[in-house]
Amino acid sequence: MHVRLFKPSVGQEELDAIADVFDRAWLGLGPKVAAFEQAWAEYVDAPAALGVNSATAALHLAVTALDLPPGSKVLVPSMTFVASALSALYNGLDVVFVDCDPETLQMDLDDLERRITPETRAVVAVHFGGYPVDMPRLMEIAGRRGLKVIEDCAHCAGGRLDGRALGTWGDLGCFSFEEKKCMTTGDGGMLVARDPALVERVRPNRWLGIDKDTWKRQTGYTAEGADDARHWHYEVAEAGYKYNMNDLAAAIGLVQLKKLPAMNARRGALIARYLDGLADMPGVRPLLPYQPDAGHAYWIFGVRVEAGRRDDVIRHLKARDVATSVHYMPLTLHPLFAAHAGATPVAESLWHEMITLPLFPDMTDEQVDYVVDALKEAGAARAPV
Ligand SMILES: Cc1ncc(COP(=O)(O)O)c(C=O)c1O
């Protein structure tokens, strides 16, 4: 049996939505993007949302929206994808890496507090794997120490903590709709903010800095009674980016959003089945303290094994045609961040134990059982010491 690692769950409804966009023949930034932004804002209960082409773009613009002074430092966990840290670098700011808690693998908030200096202005809180950062505590620290909070929700679209959508606890929230994520638009992202002025601050920046996008100019031209011969006029006040979402992606997103609660629930059920299967397995334990019924949205299911055995287990699963990966080699170990090597010892040691296993909404119970069996065999195949 072949088991993929991730697989987007898309079908006829998404195809119909794309056909509709083709029929209207407006494929770029247009009314579908506006409709998706509104639907997303309502879904997470945020006052404003901005559709972009990736979470990487959303994170970049989130830091831009804060207008931090030059020399500011931004706290970022080392146990994350590089985009979380690039958000600060793209804005010419310094990254300060924070270590992870050995159990939850989320940012260690004691370590975070220790690293705050007068130059520290913001923190990028990553809900790694979909397990939520302790947001009540982080917001208390941020309030007391004067930090802005950006939530990186690339792994947890639709996830909630204490009933409140992740992405709306901090000042800004960034979501990913890249093809493997909780829901997809092919590639795509969304920025939300508690203060709508922050979203408006960067709205032109997602479209090269232009104050009036093509759809608005077009509407000004065609609207009934419009007679403004200067409908085409726009101005650029700041160097922006070509970061916009387009109507094709937004049309897929509107369909995927309807399916998101069911897809997240299915992932939760699959995780519960994995946890049952792993319960008595020596030498293997869940990557995160999963709580499948808590309203979180998990993107990664993984396990931890003895560091020295990881590659053998990966090889064994490969021989059984089970795809695996490792999320993540800590950022401090990449050449780009060589100056920070050693800064986060817990993450830099723990990542050797981590294996990501298959998880996607259309995965069957039989596939979970197959992966669990393969893991058991890998354990049994362990050479006696
Ligand atoms: C934690 C995290 N943040 C940001 C991103 C960037 O997302 P995107 O691919 O939509 O730019 C990813 C992508 O995997 C991620 O894992």
Same domain, residue pair 234 and 273: no
181, 216, 242, 376: the active-site residue: 181
Q: Tell me the average pLDDT across 310-329.
A: 97
Q: Is residue 191 within 6 Å of ligand 1 at its C-beta?
A: no
- Smallest CA separation from ligand 1 atom 16, residue: 81
On whether residue 7 sits in a domain, the answer given is: no
Tell whether the model's pLDDT for residue 227 goes beyond 70. no
Residue of 271, 62, 77, 98 whose CA lies nearest to 176: 62
Cα of 377 from ligand 1 centre, angstroms: 33
CA distance 363 to 9: 10
Same domain, residue pair 243 and 339: no
Ligand 1 mutation target, pool 5, 79, 81, 98, most atoms within 8 A of CB = 81
Looking at 258, 284, 316, which one is the last position of a domain?
258
CATH code where residue 287 lies:
3.90.1150.10
On whether residue 340 sits in a domain, the answer given is: yes
Q: Is residue 93 within 6 Å of ligand 1 at its C-beta?
A: no
On whether residue 280 sits in a domain, the answer given is: yes
Same domain, residue pair 225 and 347: no
Domain range spanning residue 250? 12-98+105-258
- Other Cβ atoms closer than 10 A to 141: 17
Residue of 113, 115, 151, 122 whose CA lies nearest to 135: 151
Annotated catalytic, 73?
A: no
Same domain, residue pair 267 and 164: no
Same domain, residue pair 267 and 339: yes
Cα of 176 from ligand 1 centre, angstroms: 6
pLDDT band at 384 (very low <50, low <70, confident <90, very high): very low
Residue of 290, 287, 33 whose CA lies nearest to 24: 33
On whether residue 3 sits in a domain, the answer given is: no
Same domain, residue pair 147 and 264: no
Q: Is residue 150 within 6 Å of ligand 1 at its C-beta?
A: no
Tell whether the model's pLDDT for residue 240 goes beyond 90. yes
Total domains in the chain come to: 2
On whether residue 235 sits in a domain, the answer given is: yes
Q: Tell me the average pLDDT across 164-179.
A: 98
Same domain, residue pair 231 and 160: yes
On whether residue 385 sits in a domain, the answer given is: no
Same domain, residue pair 237 and 268: no
pLDDT band at 381 (very low <50, low <70, confident <90, very high): low
Cα of 337 from ligand 1 centre, angstroms: 18
pLDDT at site 382: 58
Peptide bond into 131 cis (omega under 30): no
Same domain, residue pair 205 and 289: no
Tell whether the model's pLDDT for residue 127 goes beyond 90. yes
Q: Is residue 83 within 6 Å of ligand 1 at its C-beta?
A: yes
Same domain, residue pair 19 and 135: yes
Same domain, residue pair 178 and 326: no
CATH code where residue 246 lies:
3.40.640.10
Looking at 258, 287, 307, which one is the last position of a domain?
258
Torsion angle of C-alpha atoms 264, 269, 273, 279, degrees rounded to 10: 80
What whole-number percentage of the chain has pLDDT above 90? 91
On whether residue 1 sits in a domain, the answer given is: no
Cα of 358 from ligand 1 centre, angstroms: 18
Q: Is residue 87 within 6 Å of ligand 1 at its C-beta?
A: no
Q: Is residue 108 within 6 Å of ligand 1 at its C-beta?
A: no
Per residue in 18-56, pLDDT (tens digit) is 999 999 999 999 999 999 999 999 999 999 999 999 999
Same domain, residue pair 130 and 216: yes
Q: Which amino acid is at 375?
A: L
Looking at 258, 286, 314, which one is the last position of a domain?
258
- Smallest CA separation from ligand 1 atom 1, residue: 81
Mean pLDDT, the chain, whole residue set: 95
- Atom index in ligand 1 nearest the CA of residue 178 equals 10
Cα of 220 from ligand 1 centre, angstroms: 36
Tell whether the model's pLDDT for residue 385 goes beyond 80. no
Q: Is residue 54 within 6 Å of ligand 1 at its C-beta?
A: yes
Residue of 345, 335, 328 whose CA lies nearest to 79: 328
On whether residue 48 sits in a domain, the answer given is: yes
Q: Tell me the average pLDDT across 332-341.
A: 98
Per residue in 141-158, pLDDT (tens digit) is 999 999 999 999 999 999
- Other Cβ atoms closer than 10 A to 42: 11
Tell whether the model's pLDDT for residue 225 goes beyond 80. no
